[in-house]
Amino acid sequence: MSRSKIYASVALPGLCLLAANLVGCGGSSDVSATSTTQTTQSAAAVAGKAIFFDKSLSASGKQACGTCHVPSRAYSGDPATDNGLPVPIGGANMDQVGFRNAPSLVYASFTPPFSLSGGPVGGFFRDGRASTLAAQAQQPFVTDFEMANADAAAVVAKLQTSPTTLAAFVAAYGTTPLSDPTTALADMGAALAAYETEDPSFHPFSSKYDYSLGGQATLTASEANGLALFNNPGKGNCTACHPSQAQSFSEHALFTDFSFDNIGVPRNWKIPANTAGSVSPIDGAPFSTVLVPVDVPSDAEYAYYDMGLCGPFKAATGDVKARVDLADTPSLCGVFKVPTLRNIAITSPYFHNGVFTDLHQVVEWYVTRDINNNTGNNPNPVAAGPGGNPYQAVGTFYTAADGTPDLYEYNDLPVEYDANVNIAEVPYTPPTFGGGQAPTLTAAEIDDIVAFLCTLTDGYDPTNPTAYTVPAQCQPSAAASTAASK
Amino acid sequence: MTRNLTTRKTPASLTWRAVVLLISGALAAGSASAADESAQISAQQQQIDALQQQLLNIQAQMKQLAEQNQTLTRRLQYDEHRAESAQSGTTQPSTATPGSANAPGTAASGLAPPGGLTPSGNLSPPVAADVTPGSVLPPTAVSPFSNVKLWGYGELYYTHPTREGNKTEADLARAVFGIGYTFDEKTEFNSEFEVEHAVSSASDVGEFEVEQFYVDRQLNDYATLRAGLFLMPFGLINEHHEPVNFYGVQRNFVETLIIPSTWREGGFNVHGETPIGLSWNAGLTTGFDLSKWNFAPEFPQYATALDLEDSDSAPLQSTHQELGLANAQHLSEYLALGYYGIPGLTLGAAISTGDAAKVAAPPNAPILGNERVTLWEAHARWTPGKLDLTALYAHGSISNLAVANASNPGSPNPLPSEFYGYYAQAAYGAWEHGEYRLAPFVRWEYYTMGERYSGTDGPVVPAGLLPLSATPGDYGYWPRNYDRVTTVGANFYTTPHVVFKVDYQWFEDNRTFDRLDFGMGLAF
């Protein structure tokens, strides 16, 4: 797809959702949550699974891959275990906070390598900085606000003291790599990649939508209408970046084209990095890590911005927290990778900064972004409330730290880079558009699109539909309460 | 090489004569002395050699004369045919091209260029003769390029949408060069290479393509075998698409959107003509690849009439393969018939059918069976007096699309089960002076690229003003995939090879497509 990517990233933080999982998080190798068919998997994949859930491999001993990529949440994060933050907590003392919402890993193995030719596409992490799944999987081990090991040697030392995981590793790779930490960590990354590629739980294609294509399930009228609106280039136009058609990556539709886009999502003040002088929500101590931000333009409203491909940090040798190679490419500032919409109903919060927590909000924001915005961009803001439009009040989405309407729209991006924001495609409705200010979707149509998005949740059983656990925000009462809140 | 082949030949009659001479010589030598015998034999041998050489020369001359005679006879026949057509009042010109051998009604009409320009029309220059030093053959036949034929055509447009002047465009739409080679009097090769839109590169819209590439082998007087990449014998324009051959700046919509001109396939055919004026053509070719269909265009695939013609968005335009790594799992067969036995009248019809490469569908979707693409057309042309009247109907269908369309609800561009179009056109040779000629015309046409759908109620056409591209501020309306178009214009020929054109088109449904066109075309 062209530069014109519409939808944005959906975000997810993370830990374990259920109380049972929370208990499980204390163990060293909690693998109970996944469904696997180990007999058909390679030794590398078996080792990968052991590593994925082994908390003893972190500096704190309290964090594994599976901590921030929770199986029951389509391997995305869980704000409930991150003190309600949209970003994960980690570090040697579990008192440091990350700066991006942890993405779902389901279907990640279909991601193509990062490429800039013809516009950025592919790669791993929200900024595509790792070219392969194996390269990506190594980095959290040595990231200071995640598993926080000092280096590869520290990781391997931890591995050698974790008998079960070590046995699985040796079964796949032998003992030779253990003498070379760099090689051993690379093998651990490869093992994780094998696990994420081979284990069916990472690509089940078992949603109600999938079964409906085969005639084994039938979408409700609302869901079917939602799909039609999703595809309609004049209404949702979601399919432009989240294709409902299979592409070259898989014979199934993945609901992402792996492209990148700048959609001007609102700043999330719940991310500590976004507030000056932030302190740990755990112990109140100042954060010890992060944040030597890239040079932001002098007319920027705030001192720190996460600008995606531009990176939020200044270049530093060996820095693995964010990409630094495109920091001097202003046209890519604010651009993030388009995520899959599969399982979107269970991977809240949404976008790279986790600014939204429910899908109604997200879709509503999309269609009113340039209508209900603030004085900075919109010369004719539409009044909200009685007699006005039925959507969120002006200023609701773009707020300053104190909750009041922000001075500028697109407030998670320096004003200088506002021109990077995609305003050309449906469902955005630019202020200059034909003299009209009507959103492309009505409130009822938003409900239908959300109903359809809910059908993308894996785990549906067409032979026993009632056994399927409907995601909380997909239950009829959720839609009703959203409508009532308006 | 040709000469060597000839000198190696030893005709049977010559051999027999040599044997007789040798025997008679041997008998005569019986009463002479050995020395005399030797001298006599030597002299006789020289005589024989001289006779042999003479015979060879005579033989070569006779062959050359026969070929010249054949060529002249054909040219005479062609001229007679031309005169006959002119008498019957045909006004539309035609430059026969490699694909034209099976449309005699058109190829023989009006103002075809002089002979020698028609690679498969049997009017090519004489075949290179066998030449020996000192022969009496004309020097003009000696050129090493005599077997090679070159031709070409091209067209330029200026198109001005009258309601949206900002979309006015000028384009060197096509520059085409052809090259052919005659191997012998029954075997020839023809090819055409085309540059569309002037510049072909990664950052430009142009294309460079092989439009034709085939070999013809004449089997007998009535049948010729063709193999390679060739134009399909459908309609009036597909095989005769040079700008001097049609009225209007651009080709008509029916023969662009329904018959996907310039439509070519790879394969082989057998074609021929009968003395009563019946032409026939039957072939086995590659078919369509429905997996190329775009169910989810984010923006309209065309925003002007010119876009519509160039966007390759019509059902068979977007799925034809042009022999570029074509999916050949399934082949199509076709049959085309024409009748031109009555002076001034041409009738024709054709049908092609075959399974297509399958449309993309979800892996677990039910399989309905192969998707068969069928296209048929019928056309007529009548040229009473100075009038030139044509009519054409074309109809396409694709089977088993219900699942594919059903899995794309909300699509603005589902794949149709049925599509068709027709037109009627009248032209009049209003003025003629020397080689100058002016022919105004009017054309009415209707096309629908989606008459019927299965698995969906049809395209979901987004309402209201919408972005037409990723360029901010580029707004317009989503076009309809059907329309009724009226065209009024004129062709002005400065020579039969060069034409200047003007026309105006009204669109009943996509009203913003209304346009004024100027064009120039040439063919040689």
So what's the pLDDT on residue A436? 52
Q: Which of A283-291's residues contact partners 24+ apart within 8 Å by CB, and which partners? A: A283/A95, A285/A95, A287/A96, A287/A97, A288/A96, A289/A91, A289/A96, A289/A144, A289/A145, A290/A96, A290/A99, A290/A145, A290/A321
B291/chain A closest Cα distance in angstroms: 11
Spatial distance between the Cα atoms of A144 and A95, rounded to a whole number of angstroms: 11
Higher pLDDT, A389 or B169: B169
Cβ contact A228–B471 (<8 Å): no
> Is B48 in CB contact (< 8 Å) with chain A?
no
Picking from B298, B409, B412, the nearest residue to A425 by CB comes out as: B298
A438 neighbors A429 (Cβ within 8 angstroms): yes
A212/chain B closest Cα distance in angstroms: 9
Chain B CB contacts of A211 below 8 Å? 364
A9 neighbors A339 (Cβ within 8 angstroms): yes
Q: What is the 3-state secondary structure (H, E, C) of A60-121?
A: CCCCCHHHHCEHHHCCECCHHHCCCCCCCEECCCCCEECCCCCCCCCCHHHCCCCECCCCCE
Cβ contact A233–B364 (<8 Å): no
pLDDT > 80? residue B21: no
Cβ contact A210–B364 (<8 Å): yes
What's the full length of chain B, in residues? 524
DSSP state of A337: E
So what's the pLDDT on residue B364? 82
So what's the pLDDT on residue A167? 97
B68/chain A closest Cα distance in angstroms: 60
So what's the pLDDT on residue A322? 66
Spatial distance between the Cα atoms of A465 and B444, rounded to a whole number of angstroms: 57
pLDDT > 90? residue A33: no
So what's the pLDDT on residue A126? 94
For B290, other C-beta atoms within 10 Å of its C-beta total 24
What is the overall mean pLDDT for chain A? 81
Nearest residue on chain A to B299, alpha-carbon basis: A233
Write the burial class of residue A64 (CB in 10 Å: 0-12 exposed, 13-18 middle, 19+ buried): buried
Q: Which two tokens stand for residue A67?
A: 């901590």
| Helix, strand, coil shares, percent, chain B, to 5 | 25, 35, 40
Chain B CB contacts of A245 below 8 Å? 295-296, 360, 408
pLDDT > 80? residue B519: yes
Write the burial class of residue A480 (CB in 10 Å: 0-12 exposed, 13-18 middle, 19+ buried): exposed
What confidence tier does A144 reach under pLDDT thresholds 50, 70, 90? confident
B460/chain A closest Cα distance in angstroms: 7
Cβ contact B299–A233 (<8 Å): yes
A412 neighbors A268 (Cβ within 8 angstroms): yes
Cβ contact A245–B296 (<8 Å): yes
Nearest residue on chain B to A421, alpha-carbon basis: B472
Spatial distance between the Cα atoms of B418 and B405, rounded to a whole number of angstroms: 13
Cβ contact A213–B364 (<8 Å): yes
User: For B355-374, how does the pLDDT look when each residue is reduced to its tens digit (9 = 90+)?
Assistant: 999 888 888 888 788 999 99
A189/chain B closest Cα distance in angstroms: 31
Indicate the residue type of B204.
D
Write the burial class of residue A375 (CB in 10 Å: 0-12 exposed, 13-18 middle, 19+ buried): middle
Kindly report which listed range (B190-194, B199-203, B271-275) carries the lowest average pLDDT score.
B199-203
Spatial distance between the Cα atoms of B256 and B308, rounded to a whole number of angstroms: 9
What confidence tier does B33 reach under pLDDT thresholds 50, 70, 90? low
> Is B463 in CB contact (< 8 Å) with chain A?
yes
Nearest residue on chain A to B478, alpha-carbon basis: A234
Cβ contact B362–A252 (<8 Å): yes
Kindly report which listed range (A105-109, B1-5, B228-232) carries the lowest average pLDDT score.
B1-5
Cβ contact B363–A251 (<8 Å): yes
Instruction: Specify the pTM.
Output: 0.78
B330/chain A closest Cα distance in angstroms: 22
The mean pLDDT of B106-118, rounded to a whole number, is: 33
Chain B CB contacts of A230 below 8 Å? 410
Kindly report which listed range (A393-407, A454-468, B159-173, B427-441) carries the lowest average pLDDT score.
A393-407
Nearest residue on chain B to A235, alpha-carbon basis: B462
Indicate the residue type of A105.
L
Q: What percent of chain B has pLDDT over 90?
A: 60
Quote the domain boundaries for residue A167: 19-202
So what's the pLDDT on residue A83? 80
The mean pLDDT of B284-312, rounded to a whole number, is: 93
Nearest residue on chain B to A4, alpha-carbon basis: B470
Picking from B296, B465, B478, the nearest residue to A434 by CB comes out as: B465
Cβ contact B473–A432 (<8 Å): yes
Cβ contact A233–B363 (<8 Å): no
The mean pLDDT of A178-201, rounded to a whole number, is: 97
Chain A CB contacts of B368 below 8 Å? none
A345 neighbors A14 (Cβ within 8 angstroms): no
B311/chain A closest Cα distance in angstroms: 17
So what's the pLDDT on residue A317? 53
Phi, psi (degrees; rounded to nearest 5) at B12: -60, -40
User: What is the CA B324 to chain-centroid distance, rounded?
Assistant: 18
Cβ contact B466–A4 (<8 Å): no
Tally of domains in chain A:
1
The mean pLDDT of B322-351, rounded to a whole number, is: 94
Picking from B366, B409, B470, the nearest residue to A425 by CB comes out as: B470
Q: Say if A454 falls within a structural domain.
A: no
The mean pLDDT of B133-158, rounded to a whole number, is: 72
ipTM score for this prediction = 0.78
B213 DSSP β-pair partners = B191, B229
Give the alpha-carbon dihedral of A59, A63, A65, A67, to 10 degrees.
Answer: -170
The mean pLDDT of B178-199, rounded to a whole number, is: 94
Spatial distance between the Cα atoms of A268 and A275, rounded to a whole number of angstroms: 10
Beta carbons within 8 Å of B487's beta carbon, 6+ residues apart: B248, B252, B441, B442, B443, B444, B445, B503, B504, B505, B506
Q: Say if A192 falls within a structural domain.
A: yes
Cβ contact A244–B408 (<8 Å): yes
Distance from first CA to last CA of chain A, Å, rounded?
A: 35
Spatial distance between the Cα atoms of B259 and A295, rounded to a whole number of angstroms: 59
B436 neighbors B391 (Cβ within 8 angstroms): no
Cβ contact B409–A228 (<8 Å): yes
Chain A CB contacts of B411 below 8 Å? 231
Task: Return the residue in B292, B299, B468, B477 with the most chain A beta carbons within 10 A, the one to mutate for interface testing.
Answer: B299
Q: Say if A1 falls within a structural domain.
A: no
What confidence tier does B9 reach under pLDDT thresholds 50, 70, 90? very low
So what's the pLDDT on residue A285? 62
> Is B23 in CB contact (< 8 Å) with chain A?
no
pLDDT > 80? residue A10: no
Q: Domain map of chain B by residue range?
A: 2-72, 88-125+153-197+218-523
Mark out chain A residues that contact chain B at CB-CB < 8 A: 1-4, 210-211, 213-215, 224, 227-235, 237, 239-240, 243-246, 251-253, 423-426, 430, 432-434, 436
Indicate the angle between helix axes A43-52 and A163-173, nearest 10 degrees: 150
Beta carbons within 8 Å of A464's beta carbon, 6+ residues apart: none
Task: Enumerate residues 361 to 380 of chain B having a beta carbon within 8 A of any beta carbon in chain A.
Answer: 362-366
Cis peptide upstream of residue B262 (ω within 30 degrees of 0)? yes
Q: Which two tokens stand for residue B459?
A: 């395209």
What confidence tier does B385 reach under pLDDT thresholds 50, 70, 90? very high
Domain of A131, CATH number, reads 1.10.760.10
The mean pLDDT of A178-206, rounded to a whole number, is: 96
The mean pLDDT of A148-172, rounded to a whole number, is: 96
| Residue recorded with tokens 């009724």 | B484
Task: Return the residue in A244, A250, A420, A460 with the most chain B beta carbons within 10 A, the one to mutate for interface testing.
Answer: A244
B191 DSSP β-pair partners = B179, B213
Cβ contact A423–B472 (<8 Å): yes
User: For A286-343, how does the pLDDT look when each residue is reduced to its tens digit (9 = 90+)?
Assistant: 655 545 556 677 667 787 888 899 877 665 555 556 677 888 888 999 999 999 999 9
Cβ contact A252–B297 (<8 Å): no
DSSP state of B198: S
Spatial distance between the Cα atoms of B245 and B376, rounded to a whole number of angstroms: 22
pLDDT > 80? residue B101: no
Report how many Cβ contacts below 8 Å link chain A to chain B: 95
B88-125+153-197+218-523: CATH architecture: Beta Barrel (2.40)
Kindly report which listed range (A64-73, B118-127, B479-488) carries the lowest average pLDDT score.
B118-127
Nearest residue on chain A to B456, alpha-carbon basis: A228
Spatial distance between the Cα atoms of B514 and B90, rounded to a whole number of angstroms: 30
The mean pLDDT of B377-399, rounded to a whole number, is: 97
Cβ contact A433–B472 (<8 Å): no
What confidence tier does B2 reach under pLDDT thresholds 50, 70, 90? very low
The mean pLDDT of A220-244, rounded to a whole number, is: 95
A411 neighbors A352 (Cβ within 8 angstroms): no
Chain A CB contacts of B363 below 8 Å? 246, 251-252
So what's the pLDDT on residue B30? 45
B207 DSSP β-pair partners = B196
Phi, psi (degrees; rounded to nearest 5) at B352: -130, 140
pLDDT > 70? residue B210: yes
User: For B400-448, how does the pLDDT look when each residue is reduced to its tens digit (9 = 90+)?
Assistant: 999 999 989 999 999 999 999 999 999 999 999 999 999 999 999 999 9
What confidence tier does A35 reach under pLDDT thresholds 50, 70, 90? very low
CA angle A400, A406, A410 (to 5 degrees): 105
Cβ contact B409–A2 (<8 Å): no
B361/chain A closest Cα distance in angstroms: 8
Cβ contact B411–A231 (<8 Å): yes
Q: Which of A310-319's residues contact partners 24+ apart within 8 Å by CB, and which partners? A: A310/A334, A310/A335, A311/A127, A312/A99, A312/A273, A316/A292
Spatial distance between the Cα atoms of A340 and B41, rounded to a whole number of angstroms: 99
